Amino acid sequence: MTEYFQNRSGIFDNERVLNESYTPDDLPERENELTQLGHALSPALNGAPPKNAFLTGKTGQGKTAASRFILNQFRERAEEVDDLDLTTIFQTCAGHSSSYQLACDLVEQQTGQNPNGHPKRKVFDQLYEALQKIGGTVILVLDEVDNIGDDDLLLYELPRARDNGHIKDMDVSVIGISNDASFTDNLSPKVKDSLCEENIEFSPYDANQLRPILERRAEKAFVDGTVSDSAIRLCAAYAAQDKGSARQAINYLYKAGELAVEHDDDQVIEEHVQEAEEIVERKNITQSIRNLTIQDHLALLAIVSIETDGETPVRTRNVYSVYTDIANAVGADTLAMRRVRNHLQELDMIGVINGAKRTGGSRGGQHYYWELDTDLQMTVDVLSEIDRLNDIVDQVY
Ligand code: ADP
Ligand code: MG
């Protein structure tokens, strides 16, 4: 009879710790960021309102893990403080494109009823009512808060809720987290002032940081002795070279383990990692590119075309002229340059392209320079699978 199932126990001991939902109990590579965060919350241990903080950094830098970790630690510490009545709320904003939706969801969590459809003011008032009911000190973490876009009213109001009389005899502090560094640039100055009292930046990991991160994870996840040092080193090296993302490094290792199971090997070795990197990257590119809008695709195609000619990094203005040619060729609307820049920023945020501000041009001003941040061939393959684009992809590549 065909064996439909795998025996994974030869390689994996506790595979669950390789999943996204696992929170590590130790993040020594983020001591500085954790200390900054701890300092921001500390006034609460002394009867004062905790500060608001904002965490930025590209995906996979440990922002979510670090904030979950510090909340756990802070709750433990708060128990030792007599008159501190602490409540922490961790809210993911993925899928919430406005302050309104976010407020509705927060109200639903606290009351069990979603106020969707009610006027905005009413929803906000219900949120304050719910917070007032909790009382004491509330720390509200808003993860991936960049999803709410321009509609940032809630971010303006929450840090001022007490000053403005929406709540009394209690404190609310907000920890905002964003994968998109430009999100804070685009916030109105008043929001920025209050929300970013402490601005904590998470920078990409290098191979020397990724190696111990992987070793600690591997020790829990794999059967003793099944992961070779060289496999770990290669996962760390690949991820460091690319985005410096711990998520990426862990995904390589997980996939490499699965390939060892598939090939019936009793050790995870470099060859598994090489194969894993290819598979994981192709899947990542496919997922991130498929879900984009047509305008994102056109902007990306412009970068691909310029990259193919070896002319990257390239200024927005030069991307724009190629973009307009491509948009005309496929019969799509052409957007203004400013909006195309927004699409490029979007592509940067999801890691498909990379933008950096540099001094350049004949007058030496500061400009964004863009280049592809994924494998050119893989990106072309994925784009050419999109119906509307396949002819034009053949032309530019
Ligand atoms: P972000 O929120 O910045 O996108 P995450 O916090 O989700 O990143 O981290 C991605 C993955 O890497 C998670 O599995 C997380 O547990 C792990 N990770 C990140 N930094 C560390 C670290 N310093 N030590 C252990 N694991 C880490
Ligand atoms: Mg995160």
Rounded distance between C-alpha atoms, residue 201 and residue 184, angstroms: 12
Cβ neighbourhood burial of 33 (10 Å; 0-12, 13-18, 19+): buried
Ligand nearest to the CA of 61: 1
Please name which of 247, 286, 250, 255 lies closest in space to residue 273, comparing C-alpha atoms. 255
The distance in angstroms from the start CA to the end CA of the chain is 48
Pocket test for ligand 1, best of 250, 252, 288 (most atoms within 8 A of CB): 250
- Residue whose C-alpha is closest to residue 41's, from 61, 65, 67: 67
Burial of 28 (0-12, 13-18, 19+ CB in 10 A): exposed
**Ligand in closest contact with the CA of 63:** 1
Which residue minimizes the CA distance to atom 21 of ligand 1?
Answer: 62
pLDDT for the residue numbered 362: 67
Ligand 1 atom showing the smallest separation from residue 59 Cα: 4
Give percent helix, percent strand, percent coil of the chain, each to the nearest 5: 55, 15, 30
Pocket of ligand 1 (CB under 6 A): 20, 24, 27, 29-30, 57, 59-65, 213, 246-247, 250
198-201 vs 86-92, strand pairing mode: unpaired
Are 369 and 360 in contact by the 8 Å Cβ rule? The answer is yes
**Residue labelled with tokens 């685009």:** 186
Give the position, in ligand 1's atom list, of the atom nearest the Cα of 23.
16
**Amino acid 361: pLDDT:** 64
Q: How many residues are there in the chain?
A: 397
Q: Per DSSP, what are the bridge partners of residue 178?
A: 56
Whether the Cβ atoms of residue 348 and residue 307 lie closer than 8 Å to each other: no
Do 226 and 268 form a contact (C-beta atoms < 8 A)?
A: yes
Question: What's the CA gap between 312 and 36, in Å, rounded?
Answer: 37
Please state whether the predicted TM-score (pTM) of the whole model is above 0.85: yes
Closest alpha carbon to 381 in 255, 243, 283, 313 = 283
Residue 220 CB burial class (10 angstroms; 0-12, 13-18, ≥19): middle
Tens of each residue's pLDDT in the chain, 397 residues = 889 999 999 999 999 999 988 999 899 999 999 999 999 999 999 999 999 999 999 999 999 999 999 999 999 999 999 889 999 999 999 999 999 999 999 999 999 999 999 999 999 999 999 999 999 999 999 999 999 988 889 999 999 999 999 999 999 999 999 998 888 888 888 888 888 889 999 999 999 999 999 999 999 999 999 999 999 999 999 999 988 999 999 999 999 999 999 999 999 999 999 999 999 999 988 988 988 999 999 999 999 999 999 999 999 999 999 999 999 998 999 999 999 999 999 899 888 999 998 886 667 778 899 999 988 999 999 899 888 888 888 887 7
**Which amino acid residue places its CA nearest to atom 20 of ligand 1?**
62
Which one of the ligands is nearest to 21 CA? 1
CA distances from 105 to 117, 166, 171 (A): 12, 19, 20
Separation of 183 CA from ligand 1 center, angstroms?
A: 21
Could you give the CA distance from residue 156 to residue 161 in angstroms, rounded to a whole number? 9
